[in-house]
Amino acid sequence: MRHAHSASMLAALLVIPTLTACPAPEEEVPLAEDIYAPLGEILPSASEEQRETFMKGEAVARHRFTEEEGLGPLVNVTFCGSCHEKPVFGGSGGRYRNFYLTAINLEDGSQLELDHGGVLTAYSLDSDQPRPTLQPGVNQIAHRNPIPFFGVGLIAELDEESILENVDEDDADGDGISGRANYDRGFVGRFGRKSQTVSIEGFIRGPFNNHIGLTSDPLTEEQKARLPVPSNSEPVEGFRQAAAPDEPLTDDDEAPDPELAPEDLFNIVSWAMLLAAPEPGPNTAASARGEQRFKDTGCASCHVPSLVGPRGRVPLYSDLLLHDMGDALADGISMGIATGVEFRTQPLWGIAAVAPYLHDGRADTLEEAILWHGGEGEGAREAYEALSEPERADVIAFLESLGGMEQRSDGLLPPDAPIPEAGEPGAPIGVETELELELWLRGREVFDRDMYLSEGLGPYFNGDSCRACHFDPVIGGSGPLDVNVMRYGSEQPEGEFVSPHGGTILSKLSVPALVRLEHDAEQHDVFEPRQTPQVFGLGLIDSIADDTIRGNADPDDLDGDGVRGVVHDLIDGRVGRFSWKGGVPSTREFVRDGMSNELGLTLPAEDGLTFGFLTDEDDIADPELSMSELDAITYYLTHLAPLAPVADVPGGLAAFTEVGCASCHIPELPGEDGPVPLFSDLLLHATQDDGYVGIVDGMANGRMFRTAPLWGLHATAPYMHDGAAQTVTEAIAAHAGEAAASRDAFMAAPAAQRSLIVEFLESL
3-state SS of 155-175 is: HHHCCHHHHHCCCCCCCCCCC
In a domain, 624, yes or no: no
Residue 232 pLDDT level (bands cut at 50, 70, 90): low
Helices (H), strands (E): how many in the chain?
20, 24
pLDDT surpasses 60 at 52: yes
Q: Lowest-confidence range among 233-247, 525-539, 673-687?
A: 233-247
Express each pLDDT in 409-431 by its tens digit. Answer: 999 999 989 999 999 999 999 99
Residues 6+ apart with CB under 8 A from 675: 668, 669
Which among 355, 376, 400 is the end of a domain?
400
Q: Is residue 634 part of a domain?
A: no
Say how many residues make up the chain: 764
Let me know if residue 461 belongs to a domain.
no
- pLDDT tens-digit profile of 282-320? 999 999 999 999 999 999 999 999 999 999 999 999 999
Residues 6+ apart with CB under 8 A from 558: none
Residue 20: what pLDDT?
33
700 vs 234: which has the higher pLDDT: 700
Partners of residue 15 on adjacent β-strands:
none
pLDDT of the residue at 203:
93
In a domain, 147, yes or no: yes
The pLDDT assigned to 233 comes to 53
Q: Are residues 386 and 526 in the same domain?
A: no
d(Cα 47, Cα 660) in Å, to the nearest integer? 57
Within 10 angstroms of residue 695's Cβ, the number of other Cβ atoms is: 21
Res. 9 pLDDT band, cuts 50 70 90 = very low
Domain count, the chain: 2
Tens of pLDDT, residues 13-45: 333 333 333 444 545 899 999 999 999 999 999
Q: pLDDT digits over 104-160, tens only?
A: 999 998 999 888 889 999 999 988 889 999 999 999 999 999 999 999 999 999 999
What's the N-to-C CA distance of the chain in angstroms? 49
State whether residue 313 is helix, strand or coil: strand
Cβ atoms of 679 and 697 within 8 Å: the answer is no
Whether the per-residue pLDDT at 458 is higher than 70: the answer is yes
Residue at 29: amino acid letter: V
pLDDT band of 603, cuts 50, 70, 90: very high
578: DSSP letter? B
Q: Which tens digits make up the pLDDT trace of 273-284? A: 999 999 999 999
Percent of the chain with pLDDT over 70: 95
Q: Are 55 and 63 in contact (CB under 8 A)?
A: no
Whether residue 266 lies inside any domain: the answer is yes
In a domain, 592, yes or no: no
Report the run of H or E that residue 704 belongs to, with start and end. strand 704-706
Q: What is the pTM of this model?
A: 0.93
Q: What's at 584, amino acid-wise? A: V
Question: Which percentage of the chain shows pLDDT scores above 90?
Answer: 89
Residue 358's pLDDT is what? 98
Same-domain status, 76 and 200: yes
Q: CA geometry: angle at 608 spanning 440 and 452, to 5°?
A: 50
Q: Give yes or no for residue 192 having a pLDDT over 70.
A: yes
Contact (Cβ atoms closer than 8 angstroms) between residue 101 and residue 331: yes
End of a domain among 400, 415, 437? Answer: 400
| 3 state SS of 196 | coil
- Cα distances (Å, whole numbers) of residue 543 to 148, 569, 676: 44, 17, 9
Closest listed residue to residue 211, CA positions, set 249, 177, 178:
249
pLDDT at 208: 96
Please say which residue of 334, 367, 400 terminates a domain. 400
What local confidence, expressed as pLDDT, does residue 15 receive? Answer: 33
The span from the CA of 198 to the CA of 174, in Å, is 29
Residue 238 clears pLDDT 50, i.e. is over it: no
Q: Is the pLDDT of residue 87 over 70?
A: yes
Written as one string, the DSSP assignment of 338-404 is: B-TTEEEPPP-TTGGGS-SBSTT--BSSHHHHHHT--GGGHHHHHHHHTS-HHHHHHHHHHHHTTTT
Q: How confident is the model at residue 724 (pLDDT cuts 50, 70, 90)?
A: very high
What pLDDT, on a 0 to 100 scale, did the predictor assign at position 19?
34
Domain assignment of residue 241, yes or no: yes
Task: Give pLDDT tens digits for 470-488.
Answer: 999 999 999 999 999 999 9
How many whole angstroms separate alpha carbon 271 and alpha carbon 607? 54
| Identity of the residue numbered 425 | P
Shortest CA distance to 659 belongs to which of 564, 756, 580, 566? 756
pLDDT of 240: 39
pLDDT at 698: 94
Tell me if the bond preceding 718 is cis, omega within 30° of 0: yes
Burial of 459 by CB count in 10 Å (0-12 exposed, 13-18 middle, 19+ buried)?
A: middle
Distance CA 350, CA 124 (A): 35
Domain-embedded: residue 564: yes
Greatest extent of the chain over all pairs of C-alpha atoms, in Å: 92
Read off the pLDDT band of 64 (50, 70, 90): very high
Average pLDDT of the residues in 523-540? 96
Q: What is the mean pLDDT of residues 439-460?
A: 97
Nearest-5° Cα angle at 461, 460 to 466: 155
- By the 8 A CB rule, do 348 and 341 touch? no
Is 529 a residue whose pLDDT tops 80? Answer: yes
pLDDT by residue (tens digit) across 338-394? 999 999 999 999 999 999 999 999 999 999 999 999 999 999 999 999 999 999 999
Residue partners of 411: CB distance under 8 A and separation at least 6: 445, 448, 449, 450, 465, 467
Residue type for position 439: L
- Give the β-pairing of 99-105 and 111-113: antiparallel
Give me the pLDDT at residue 494, please.
82
Strand-pairing partners, residue 569, are 575
Residue 245 has what pLDDT?
59
Reference 277, options 245, 318, 232; nearest CA is 318
Dist CA 213 CA 724 (whole Å): 17
Q: Chain-wide mean pLDDT for the chain?
A: 93
627's enclosing H/E stretch is helix 627-638
- What pLDDT does residue 6 have? 38
Do 493 and 359 belong to one domain? no
Full domain range(s) for residue 549: 476-577+644-763
Virtual torsion, Cα 337, 339, 341, 345, nearest 10 deg: 20
For the packed helices 434-448 and 627-638, what is the interaxial angle rounded to 10 degrees? 100
Range in 119-133, 239-253, 591-605 the model is least confident about: 239-253
Least confident of 9-23, 94-108, 597-611: 9-23
CA-CA distance, 431 to 161, in Å (whole number)?
Answer: 61
Contacts of 505 (CB under 8 A, 6+ apart): 462, 485, 486, 487, 597
Q: What is the CA radius of gyration of the chain?
A: 28
What pLDDT, in 10s, does the model give residues 615-653?
999 999 999 999 999 999 999 999 999 999 999 999 999
- pLDDT value of position 235: 53
Q: pLDDT-derived band of residue 512, with 50, 70 and 90 as boundaries?
A: confident
Question: Is residue 62 predicted with pLDDT exceeding 50?
Answer: yes
